[in-house]
Each structure stands twice: as structure tokens, then as C-alpha cells.
Amino acid sequence: MRILKRKKGGETFLYLQHSFRKDGKVVTKEKYLGKKVPENISEIKAELIEFEKKEIYRKLEKIKENFQKDWKKTPNSAKEKELNEIAIAFTYNTNAIEGSTITLEEVREIVEEQTSPNKPLRDVKETESHFKVFLNMLNSKEKFSDRLLLNWHKEIFGETKKDIAGKYRNYLVRVGNYIAPMPKEIEERMKRLIDFLNNYKLNAVEVSARTHYRFEKIHPFGDGNGRIGRLIMNKILWDAGYPMLIIEYKNRKSYYKALTKDEDKFVNYFLRRYFSVNKKRLK
């Protein structure tokens, strides 16, 4: 978005211009501002962005519609197998991002054959527990609450991080150069986030992105915030009828970089990934 200057009859007039993609083509919208930037420039910017948001929402609804059509035609046995494969892929990638040494094939061995690879016991236990939590999440329509998130955390880390499992942190943490909120702020911030989750009016994919960003900034747990955050993000999508999104280990650098930016920039990153993964569902 930019402000353009155009001269006419010796005078300079200002226009606000915003460009975005629609059906593979660049669409440009302009709004006349006058001879100087008006005080309500932020409202005018929001009005132009609304054009783009409507197109984004239309595409997201198309993805949902096509996903649901395919899913309804899928036999129950095939659905179960597909969800199992998603759970394996999700468990591998989300744990690998956080430093787990378990490979994709080792995840499969752990959850399908109950065999333990020659890897740290902590990684094996967290892999097994995360897989179970993920599948249970898909089969439950439980509303978001502190209890739900704390239970997820306890189930995943109860055997490996007993001192912090299932409870919000009571100490200060730093993530790179970012200092997370003080412990006394966590309860209120999580209350606001959960209220947002259970009463949102935006598109669910956008809510998924905004919630993930806000949760990671609150960083309510002593460890495991990324894994819980990505579970939340996919529960939002699944409960709303959208295909889920796996943040792949190979893309972790761009993911981490996006989390260091402001919320709107992270949402843009998230939407780009979502459209890229689901491009076939837009046809």
C-alpha cells in the first residue's frame, strides 16, 4: 500500500493505492485522498484492505468446500488411515522443530509397532504421548479452556518434564531477544485468548494464525509452547471443517522468522503457506 502524487493544473493530488492478487492476476484499488493526507487515513487503509480480505475469505471457503466434498466421499476406513498418517506426520514435524531426534519412520515404528528406537527415552515418550493427544483432539469437540490446554501439556510432558507438566510457568522466560510476559500476567492473557477462541467472528483460518501468534507471544508454559500452540492452531481448523496445516521441519527457519515479526505479517505468512499447501483445492 502506498500514497501516490499526481499533478493536475499545477496542483498535487494524493491517492492511496493498494494491490493484491485475485485469480492469479494483480488487482489494484485506489482511493482519492485530496491535497493532503486526511486524519482518518487508517480507516481508509482498512477500507482498501477489506477488498483483499473478501477475496482471501472467498478462496479459503473454496478450500473448505472442496475438502469437505472429498472427505464426505472417503470411506470411514480410509478416513481413519488418513488421520493416522496426518497424526504421524504432524507428530514428527512438530517434535523435530523443538529438537527431537526421532525420525519420521521411527515415529511410525513407535505408534504402530510399539517398538522403541535407540534414541533418548524422553524423545520416545514425548512422541508416543503427542500422537495420542493429537488423535484424541480430532475426535473431541471440547471447547477451548485452561483445563483442556493444561491437560494436553500434562499428557505430553507428564513423564519427561514432571516439574513443569500441566501448569503455567511461574518464572520469567526469554525466547531469543524476546522476553515473554511476567508470570502474573499469564492468567489474564490466556483468559482473553480463550474468550477470543470461543467467540470469534473472523474466518477460522485467520483465527488459527492469530491465535498461534498470540499464544506463542504469551508463552505460558515453561517448555512445549510450540507443540501446544500448533495443536491449538489445528484444532481451530479441524473443528471449523478446514484441512489442517503441518508446519514442516524443513520450513522451520521461515516459520521462526515469521514469528519474530508483528501479528499481521505472521498472518500473511500463515495464509501464504495455507494457500500453497491447498492450491489443488482452489481449482
Q: What is the DSSP string of 165-220?
A: TTS---S--EETTEEPPPHHHHHHHHHHHHHHHHS--S-HHHHHHHHHHHHHHH--
Mean predicted confidence (pLDDT) in 171-198: 94
Q: Does the pLDDT of residue 19 top 80, yes or no?
A: no
Domain boundaries, the chain: 4-60, 77-282
Q: Does the pLDDT of residue 15 top 70, yes or no?
A: yes
Query: Who has greater pLDDT, 117 or 131?
Result: 131
Out of 16-30, 99-113, 202-216, 240-254, least confident range: 16-30
Using pLDDT thresholds of 50, 70 and 90, give the confidence band for residue 26.
Answer: low
Q: 23: alpha, beta or left, given left = phi > 0 and alpha = psi -120 to 50?
A: left
Query: How many angstroms separate the Cα of 5 from the Cα of each of 10, 12, 13?
Result: 12, 6, 6
We find that the CATH architecture of domain 77-282 is Orthogonal Bundle (1.10)
Mean predicted confidence (pLDDT) in 247-268: 95
Query: Who has greater pLDDT, 218 or 201?
Result: 218
Out of 11-25, 119-133, 259-273, least confident range: 11-25
The pTM assigned to this predicted structure is 0.85
> Is 219 an active-site residue?
yes
The per-residue pLDDT for range 85-106, each reduced to its tens digit, is 999 999 999 999 999 999 999 9
Query: How many angstroms separate the Cα of 28 from the Cα of each of 6, 31, 36, 265?
Result: 16, 10, 21, 20
The per-residue pLDDT for range 45-91, each reduced to its tens digit, is 767 777 678 889 999 999 999 999 999 999 999 999 999 999 999 99
Using pLDDT thresholds of 50, 70 and 90, give the confidence band for residue 112.
Answer: very high
Instruction: Please tell me what DSSP assigns to residue 26.
Output: E
> What's the one-letter identity of residue 93?
N
pLDDT of residue 21: 64
pLDDT of residue 24: 62
Q: Does the pLDDT of residue 249 top 70, yes or no?
A: yes
pLDDT of residue 176: 84
